Amino acid sequence: MTARSLLTDRRDSVTARPWRRPGRTALGPATRFAYRIAAAVFALVLWQVAVVSGLVSNAAVATPTDIVQEAAPLLATPAFGAALFDTITSWAEGLLVSLVVAIPVGLALGTSDLAYRVSRFTIDFLRTIPPVALIPVALLLYGATPKMAFALIVFGSVWPVLLQAMYGVHQVDPAMWDVARAYGLRRLDRLRFLILPSAAPFVATGVRLAATISLLLAIGAELIGGAPGIGAAITLQQQNGDIPKMWVYVVVSAVLGVVLNLALIGLERRVLKWHSAQRSVVAA
């Protein structure tokens, strides 16, 4: 097949949209941003109208305007700060421990074919158990304490990291293993130059997945199990019948998820930049 120049691809590239004739120019970033804001506003208006009109009962759902009104004073209270702190610390501790356990184990399992085959069935089975089902067990063992949340988070978060680490090791080009052996690379060097650069992006994805799961489990442990934190605050406000305050906490939990995810993406980018730089050094 003839090699086509970059110019050719640009000239002849016609990405046919299913219904439109090609040739349209893309929207500028300002317009896109405006559309996005408009979509969000539209959604909020829909929400407001649904509750105000009675379509959705206001004994269960608060309007966006009420939520905003309640949010300002609530966010300043010590109770809120404590709940936020509790949730974040549970999340961070649980996530960290699960990473410390799962990454080395996952890398090791990925490297050894035998170990992988032996453990595959067990891992597959254990990871399908939804961690929420273990809330009663954790409650029995630890009561409605942060420890309960911690145990739950660790159990739930190890699996994605483990699997992603194993998968990442499997992505190493088989030819590279031969190269490593031919040059008699030591174990440690193999880890540094072969395994880590290849597995790093996958492990990063696993970390983000685990982070999401950790947050979900933290809030779940708090809401169902009663550990202190945002989840417990939601239950409390619901029991007090203060629906707007309850929804403030619900929105905060979502915002927390988004913020943590974005932070991790930023972190991932920075760490991986260093790694891909190293990878290109190895390849050269």
Partner 1 sequence: MAKANIVGDPLIETAAQSSRPILEISDLSKTYRVGDEHNQVLVGISLQVSRGEFVCIVGPSGAGKSTLLRCIAGLLAPSSGTILLDAQPVHDPPPKLAVVFQDYSRSLMPWMSVASNVMLPLRSRGYARSEQVRRADEALAAVGLTAARSRYPWQLSGGMQQRVAIARALAYEPEAMLMDEPFASVDAQTRSDLEDLILRVRDTFGMTVLLVTHDIDESVYLADRVFVMGGSPTSVSEQITVDLPSPRDQVSTKLLPRFSELRAHVMTLIREDRVNRGV
Partner 2 sequence: MAFSATVRGRGLSHRLLSVLAEVALPVIAIALWWVLSANSTSLYFPPLSKIMAAFQRIWLFGHFDSDAVPSLENLAVGLLIATAVGVAVGMLLGLLPILSDAVLPTVEFLRAVPGVALLPAALLLLGIGPEMKISLIAYGTVWPVLLNTVDGVRGVDPVAVEVGASYRLRRPDRLFRIILPAASPQIVAGMRSALSIGITVIIFSEMVGSTDGIGFQILSAQRNFAVADMWAGIVMLGVLGYVLNIGFRGLENRLLRWHRGMRNSAGS
**Residues at the site binding partner 2, with contacts judged by CB under 8 A:** 14-19, 27, 32, 35-36, 38-40, 43, 56-57, 59-61, 114, 117-122, 124-126, 128-137, 139-141, 215-216, 219-220, 223-224, 230-231, 234-235, 238, 243, 246-247, 249-251, 253-255, 257-258, 261
Written as one letter, the residue type at 180 is: A
**How many chain residues are in contact with partner 1, going by CB under 8 A?**
16
Nearer to partner 2, 43 or 267 (CB): 43
Nearer to partner 1, 32 or 273 (CB): 32
Considering CB distances under 5 to 8 angstroms, the limit depending on partner class, which of partner 2, partner 1, none binds residue 219? partner 2
User: Is residue 161 within 8 Å of 96, Cβ to Cβ?
Assistant: no
Q: Measured from the CB of residue 34, what is the shortest distance to partner 1 in angstroms?
A: 20
Nearer to partner 2, 111 or 194 (CB): 111
Establish if 15 lies at the interface with partner 1 (CB under 8 A). no
Establish if 10 lies at the interface with partner 1 (CB under 8 A). yes
**Angle 280-204-131 from CA coordinates, rounded to 5°:** 160
User: Is residue 225 within 8 Å of 145, Cβ to Cβ?
Assistant: no
Phi first, then psi, for residue 98 (nearest 5°) are -65, -35
User: Is residue 257 within 8 Å of 214, Cβ to Cβ?
Assistant: no
CA–CA dist 7, 22 (Å, integer): 18
Establish if 140 lies at the interface with partner 1 (CB under 8 A). no
Kind plus residue range of the DSSP H or E element containing 107: helix 78-111
CA–CA dist 226, 230 (Å, integer): 10
Establish if 182 lies at the interface with partner 1 (CB under 8 A). no
Establish if 23 lies at the interface with partner 1 (CB under 8 A). yes
CA–CA dist 1, 8 (Å, integer): 14
